[in-house]
Every structure is written in structure tokens, then in C-alpha cells.
Amino acid sequence: MADLLLSLLLVVALFALLASGVWVAFSLTLVGMLAMALFSSAPIGQVLATTVWGASNSWALAALPLFIWMGEILFRSRLAEDMFTGLAPWMGRLPGRLLHVNVVGCGIFAAVSGSSAATAATIGKLSIPELAKRGYPERMVIGTLAGSATLGLLIPPSIILIVYGVATEQSIARLFVAGILPGLMLMALFAGYVVLWSLVNKSRLPAPEPRLPLGEKLRRSRRLFPVIGLILGVIGSIYAGIASPTDAASVGVLLALLLSWSSGSLSRETFAAALLGATRTSAMIAFILAGAAFLTVAMGFAGIPRTLAEWIAAMELSPYALIAALTAFFIVLGCFLDGISVVVLTTSVILPMVEKAGIDPLWFGIYVVLVVEMSQITPPVGFNLFVIQSLTGRNILEVARAALPFFALLLVAVLLIVLFPGIVTWLPATMLAGGG
């Protein structure tokens, strides 16, 4: 009981630091120091130095800044404009018409950015004014964008999957492949909702635009083909076992630079801005990972993960009950922290009990990302909500209400992978069996 109370003290200290505005990385490090001071006589300075170096000196982590840089380059290119022009002619006859551009456009950009907020900003800056000009209902425009932008966390190359893989020592290539089918499933759920909504609310949609001949559709879509080629090249090389995630990221950066240059949007200013943006984001994530690694080691000295695992085990929860409890926990935590912070804060404590319950760590990684995706569209710290608020000028609660159906669809996706875990595990198992 004493160990449990001290563990609770550390949790309270962590949230007090976070609530006071202390950086996440500093909060993790300070709580780790407190844990070692309370539970261990080991030299804090030496453990801190060794752990930070070990957490930073990881080859798997090298893929992270490269994928971020690739997304930053394409974020500053004409990709959003090309995507809207290329996709719109193919969506005009579907129920819901151009609302599907948000869903498919976010899915495509998610596959080259790895970031949810960047996906919302890139697609939203063009689709919101274009769809508003054509008379589409603002609430559905905002909702489809907020929900679909969360795909940036799941569809590879996902930054948060790299963070999870590094934090839990899982194969990043297998995590990337595991995210493909759930990502496509989410796109299908979002598109299905748009179809059903449009069939019920036909009068609220603008009149269909004139049909275009096939040749004209292909001409307007020609700028999409290089981007799709980049996606297939990066993900396909990982799936086929030709390249590691780091190798594929290097090629992705080179191809992104070539695409940006060929579209006329690469300049000295955009190159420098992309490089600086990638450096800032990468340094922030690496700093958080280092703090989390130290906290993990400190809690190991303290025996907190073992104590919590024994406490959970004593409750004799079934795997389904454990997942239900963790889902509620992650949703609440995600209301106050960003996705990467949630992952690095919780995995070291939760993973031992998850493995003890017989849950596959690979499956759990995709599950965590799906639940963390919900935090992107839940106030008060839903990053997608803030991005869309800045694009529309609407109240944050209005944006959250528009995103609510897509929050429910994310819950449905979690339920589906719980009931049918093969949605996550089948493709990596197939790849592994094929020598990937």
C-alpha cells in the first residue's frame, strides 16, 4: 500500500508540473529525479546522463527527423492545391460529392506527412474556402476535415508510431505495415458517414457540377501521380523489405525536394523554413523521449511498474475489461496532453500489464494511436481543433461539435480492432512470412 501511495504522489507531482506550464520533457525528468530520490540510492546524475545518451543514440530514431522534414517540404509545396484540383473531378458523382475530398485528401497527405496538425492545416487552407464557395454546409466541412486529419497519426509514415516503436523497442517497419489496414478502414468509415449523411440531407448539398470527360479528369489529376508514386515508393520499399524506415525516409526527403522543385514551390526561403521546422519538431520529440526514458528507468528502480501491474492483476480484469479501462484513461489523458506526450508518459508503466494480459504489443501500438487520435479532436487540448479554429475563426466548441460524429467513428474503429485483431496483425504477419 505504501508503494501505491508513493506512486500516486509521483503522478500528482507530474500533473502539477504539467498544469503549471513546465515543459513536458522537464516535467518527466524532474519526476524521475523525485522517484529516484524517494525509492533508490543510485547516483541520479550518472543514471540521467547514461539514460539520456542511450535514448538519443538510436538508429531507429534517425527516421524521425527525416520523415518530419519530408512532411515540412510538402507542406510548403503546392500539394494541397494539386490535390483539390486532382481529386474533385472524381468525387463529384459520389453521395456527399466534394466532402470526400477532405477524407481522401487527408488520407493522401497523411501518407507523406506523419502529422495530424500538418494534415489539417495543409488540406484545410484550400478545402475550407473552396467548399464554402460552392455552398457546402460548414459544419460538415469542418467535421470531415477535423476527423480525417487524425489519419496523419496512423497512416505510415506516422511520427507517433516511430515514437512508440522507439519507446517500446518494437519494429518500426512492422508498426508501419500494421497501420495500413486500420488507416484504410478509418477512411472507409469516414467516407461511409459522409455518404449516409448526404443521403439523409440531400437538400443541404449544392447542385452537382457538370460532368467532365475522362481525358479532362486525367489531365487535372496529373499532378497527383508523382505524390502517389512517392507514397508507394516510401511505404512499398519498407513493405517489400528493400529499405529500412530510415533508408526510405532519406529517399522520401529527396523525392519531396524534387516534387517541390518541379512544381515551382521550392525556393531558398521554403527550403530553410522546412529545415528549421523539422529541426524544431524533431528536437522537441527527442527531448521528450529522453525525459521519458529517464522516468522509465527511475520507475524501474522504484519498482512502480511491477507494483501497478500486480495491483491491476489483483483486480483480475479480463483483457476486454482492461482495454475498456485503458480507453477511458487515454481519452481523459488526451484531453490535456498531446499524443506523443501521452505515448511516452504511459507506455513504460502500462506495457508490462498489457503483456501480462496476453495482449500483442504490436496490436497495442495501433490501438494506442487510434485512441490518441481522439485526443486531437477533444477540447481543451485538441490540436486539430486549434488548427481548424485558426482557419475558420469559429469558436473551439463549435469546431468540437462538428467533429463529434468522427470521434464516435474512432470509437467504432477501436471496437472493430478489439473484436477483429487481425485488422492490425494480418498484414505484418503476411509481410514477415514473405521475408519482409
331 in Cβ contact with 378 (< 8 Å): yes
**pLDDT greater than 90 at residue 418:** yes
Task: Give the residue-averaged pLDDT of 237-245.
Answer: 76
Most confident of 82-96, 207-221, 390-404: 390-404
**pLDDT greater than 80 at residue 139:** yes
C-alpha cell at 310: 500486480
- Count Cβ atoms within 10 A of the Cβ of residue 83 and give its class: 0-12 exposed, 13-18 middle, 19 or more buried: buried
User: Band of the pLDDT at 6, cuts 50, 70, 90?
Assistant: low
Q: Report which of residues 11 and 206 the model is more confident about.
A: 206
Q: What is the percent of the chain with per-residue pLDDT over 90, rounded to a whole number? A: 14
pLDDT score at 436 = 44
Among 85, 354, 387, which Cα is nearest to 219's? 85
Work out the mean pLDDT of the chain and round it to a whole number.
81
- Count Cβ atoms within 10 A of the Cβ of residue 336 and give its class: 0-12 exposed, 13-18 middle, 19 or more buried: middle
Coarse DSSP helix, strand, coil percentages of the chain, rounded to the nearest 5 percent: 80, 0, 20
Among 127, 109, 117, which Cα is nearest to 392's? 127
What is the C-alpha to C-alpha distance for residues 143 and 128, in angstroms, rounded to an integer?
11
Q: Report which of residues 210 and 202 the model is more confident about.
A: 202
**pLDDT greater than 60 at residue 179:** yes
User: Band of the pLDDT at 310, cuts 50, 70, 90?
Assistant: low
Task: Give the residue-averaged pLDDT of 96-110.
Answer: 85
Q: What is the percent of the chain with per-residue pLDDT over 70, rounded to a whole number? A: 91
pLDDT score at 312 = 65
Three-state secondary-structure class, residue 57 = coil
**pLDDT greater than 80 at residue 300:** no
**pLDDT greater than 80 at residue 292:** no
For the stretch 422-431, pLDDT in tens is 999 998 888 6
Task: Give the residue-averaged pLDDT of 395-419.
Answer: 91
**pLDDT greater than 90 at residue 363:** yes
**pLDDT greater than 90 at residue 410:** yes
- Count Cβ atoms within 10 A of the Cβ of residue 419 and give its class: 0-12 exposed, 13-18 middle, 19 or more buried: exposed
What is the C-alpha to C-alpha distance for residues 314 and 184, in angstroms, rounded to an integer?
38
